[in-house]
Structures are given as C-alpha cells and as structure tokens.
Chains A and B, each alone.
Chain A
C-alpha cells in the first residue's frame, strides 16, 4: 500500500514554507494585491530560501530537490496567497524547466544559475490572442536568416514576462512546414531584444500581484542557437512539461482550497448570529466539512500523480484528474468560504474574497477544465 506520510525533509520544507507564508506573506500581500503590484521583496525572500531552485540539480545552483518538493512549497504558499505561488510555479515550471529539460549545455550554463537563484525570472509564451487550447492556432512565425531567427507575431496572457527581473521568454513559433503540418519550435527571446515589446500589464479578475502581459514580436532577431531542443518539437516538448505543470497547479489549487478552510475555521469561532457562534450551526459545519473533503481528496490526487511522476511512470491521466479535482475544489471552497464570511466575504480586505477571485483562473490556465476532461477521456481510450 502506498504511504502518503511525508518524509522528514519534505515535512521540514513544508513547515518552513508554511511559516514563511504565514509570517512574511500574509501580513503584506493584501496591499500588493489591491495596488496590483508585483511583490519584489517577497520574491527576493523566496529566492533567498532557494524556492526557485527547488527541483534543479546543485550544479546549476539548484537545491537538488524534486518536483514534489516544489508542489509542497506551492501548496503552502497558495494557502495564503496564489499570486506569489504562481510567480514561483511559472518561474520554475515554465521559465526554467524547459531550458533544464531541453536546453543545450550552453543554454543551461547561461540561464539556469540566475533562474535557480531567483535573481532572474523566466517566462514561457505559448498562448496567443487567437487561441491557447489549440496549438494549431499558433500564428507567430520565426524564420532563419543569416544565422538568426526573425520572429513576428504575438503572445497573450504570459506570466512573469514583464517584471524588472524577467530575463527571458521562451516562445513557441512556426518555423516551417512538415508533411503539410505546421512545424512548431521553441526559441529563447531575452528581455530587451529589439523588436520584442511587452504591453502594459492586464487588468485581471484575480492573481493581481502576479505579472501578466501580452507580448509583441516585430522582426525580432535572436541567434540561431536560441532554439530550445529540436526544431519542430516545440509544442511536443511543451506538452510534456505541461503534464508536470498540471501537478504543480493542482498543488496550488489545493493550497487555495485549504486556505479557505483555515480562514473559515478562524472566523466561525468568532462571528456570532442569533446568540451563537456561527460555527455552532450545522449548516456552517457541514459546509466546512465539505470544504475539508474537497481539499483533502484533491491533495491525495496530486500526491498520487506526483508519486507516479517521480517513479517515472506514465502520469498523464493522474495529472489531469489532479488538476481538475483541485480547480473544482478551489472554486467550490472559495464560493463556500465567501458565503460563510457573509458581507465581509465580499470585501477585499479579507483573504477569502481574494481566494474567490484567484480560484477562477485555475479552471483555465495550463489547460482548461475541458482540456483536462479531453485528456482523461483520451487516456480511457475514447477517441
């Protein structure tokens, strides 16, 4: 039988990130969120703790941990705030991981140390204004000219792409045709490359202390060596990374769902109505019991997906299930939590309102819930 007890070092990490989130993030994040400001100071502290290097080997300045360690850190951060959690998630699994997995020795040497230390942030641009779920919708092109890629097109909703410490965006672009199909490759575009413009940040419903921009490329030239991995494998590579990313997003959603339980347990012991603490009413107790159920089962789902991933077994279905269960838990729990908080639940000054706004994107980012269902169905043999 599988044992879900955490090893000592995982538990110590979880506890450390828990303390960090409670002591450092919780007191200040509301202000950043309301000002829609990127929390550079918190990100620097997370970097100091080595969180951005968690799953990478020590030779590149990483912590020598694994993807599950990252998941535990994401869960504990998201229990307090999703913006800082997704900054870490995107920085690691979208910014640094593609280079670590598919990059050349030279690319790893150039980029990984600063990405692992958290001194620099990386981003990954796949989604375009014309479509995200469907890779066939990619319109951005890159053609080789005198040893350089000349890139034209645009990308939409790209996390971490425009901070002061962002150093690169890896983008997918059409680099030709193969058997009548678009050949999609991944290319590193360093920030500040002429012809690469970052639009002002979006006004978003949630994740307001996270950095998201639309990107435009107009005859943007980068060296031919900036190709990541094989030419024509850009999308396939990205998909393999996305499976891992789903487990990470699932962990983040579980954190949000658990954070809702934490906040409600505190609140229902204080708030009174009709002569009792509201926590004494069974209607409230059952809501919280259901919330705990959702957080707990979604956690088991992502633990299992992560366990399979670390054992090197196929985990596509488990990752999709974990992400779907977790985003559902986050949506349902944040709705229930804001309900339990009554009018205060609608106020930005309470974390549950923030959780409510932050939950929605979990049904969309890194594969929509429909896409997760498509993946599960396909794994069951349905075509």
Chain B
C-alpha cells in the first residue's frame, strides 16, 4: 500500500506568449492558455504506475488560482483518485519559500502519505527548489532529478540524473521525489477517465484552513522582488561566413572575437 501525493502546477502553455503583468511583475495568467505542466503529467504517470504495480491511492495537490481546477481535472482523468486544491487570493505572488510552506501544511490534510512526487522544475518560474524545500520542511529524505523510480516495500530507489552523471540513491519512505522529463511517457486520459474525474472528490482549502498566516505568503512577504522586466530581444540575423578556402580559420576568428574559444 503506497499512498502518493502528486504536486501539480498549472502553467501558461509553452506554445503561447508568456509574459509578466505590467503592474506587479507576476505571471500574467490571463494572456496565455493555462495547462497542467508537462512535467506534472509525468509525475502523475509515475504515481499511477507505482499504484498500479501494487496498491495505494494517488492524491493530487495543487496550489493555484481557481482555474487550476482544469489542471487538477486532467490529473484526475488520467487516473488519480482525489485532489486537494489550495486556492486563496492572499497567495498571489508567493515565492518558493512561501509556496513550499503552504504545500507542507496542505500535506497535513492528507490522511497519510508515503511518497510525494513533484516535477524537477515548473516550466514557468523554473525555480526548481520546491521539492528540496518541501523535504526540509517535512523532515524527510529528498531524491531529486529522478529518471527512474522503484518502490520496494518501505524503501525507494532512484536513478538521479544530473550533468555530472547518474547517481543511484536510496531512502526509506516517506520521501519527496522530483522527476525529470525522461522518467516516462504520460498516458492520454480515456473518455471513461474523463467522465470518472467529474465525480472524484476535490477538497478546496484556503490558507486559513491550513492554519497558515496570510501575512506569511503572497507578493508582500516574498524574499525577493522583481524590480523590472523586459521581453527577450528578438533574435538578430546571424553573421554569414563565406568559405573561400579559409572558412575554418574565419569561423575560429569569429568565435575568438566572441570570446567563445
């Protein structure tokens, strides 16, 4: 019996134009299509695989505005059993530290959990620190950047992939795992799954319900502030090097000029 909580974030679709709002430099959620983060589809898939290999229950946990229910529904239609949605105006602009606190508090509302699965980083903020912060707050082992996860009884083995190579790590449950894109190929929900998702329980909670002080979260209490933001400059046309027998050295000269070699 492995009870798993999957952390799911709704993000602007990477195909649409993503921008920050002019007023407070937080994500402009209205300007883009909102979808479940792709990495979280994989997190859900991994949870379902572990559940299907043995027994257990998969709970989706999402912190986000009201319309994050769409992302939650998607996870439920893939096969997760139930969901907790933390939605509160005061969370607007929260940084990672505050978000991790809220998630940790929300985990207290789950009967019992053996494993928390997150994506290694969200495709919008790309902070990538929530899983580690959460593990610290919960006082449980963290196994991040997993490209393979095996649960055996009360222990978990993970192949952790970083630029330096692959590390095999092992811990006892409960634990927090974050997965990379390589972990699996997520399933497409079936129509039966879509219909069933409508009837699955979603508990909506405010920060007050979690016993978190609204003053500890949100833009005002973030540890860092965005002062200014500007869109990426458009890519300029490249420089063309004609090969008149000396193409190689011209390319080398160019690269030296750019301090690249």
Contacts and interface: CB of A to CB of B under 8 A. Distances in A.
Interface of A: 8-9, 12-13, 16, 19-20, 45, 48-50, 54, 58, 63-65, 69
Nearest to B74: A12
A118 to B, nearest CB: 11
Contact of B198 (A9, A16, A20): A9
Given A64-B195, A65-B195, A12 B187 contact: no
Contact of A9 (B187, B188, B194): B194
A8 B77 CA distance: 12
B195 A9 contact: yes
Nearest to B192: A63
B198 A64 contact: no
Contacts, number: 42
Contacts of A64: 191-192, 195
A69 B74 CA distance: 18
Interface range on chain B (Cβ under 8 Å from partner): 10 to 19
B194 A49 contact: no
A48 B191 contact: no
B194 A13 contact: yes
B191 A63 contact: yes
Contacts of A19: 188
A63 B190 contact: yes
Contacts of B198: 8-9
A12 B197 CA distance: 11
Contact of B191 (A8, A20, A45, A50): A50
Contacts of A20: 188
28 contacts: A8-B198, A9-B194, A9-B195, A9-B198, A12-B73, A12-B74, A12-B77, A12-B197, A13-B191, A16-B188, A16-B189, A16-B194, A20-B188, A48-B188, A49-B187, A49-B188, A49-B189, A49-B190, A50-B190, A50-B192, A50-B193, A63-B190, A63-B191, A64-B192, A64-B195, A65-B191, A65-B195, A69-B191
Nearest to A46: B188
Interface string B71-95: 0011001000000000000000000
B194 A12 contact: yes
Given A12-B197, A63-B195, 16 more contacts: A9-B191, A9-B195, A9-B198, A12-B74, A12-B194, A13-B191, A20-B188, A48-B188, A49-B190, A50-B192, A54-B191, A63-B190, A63-B191, A63-B192, A64-B192, A65-B192
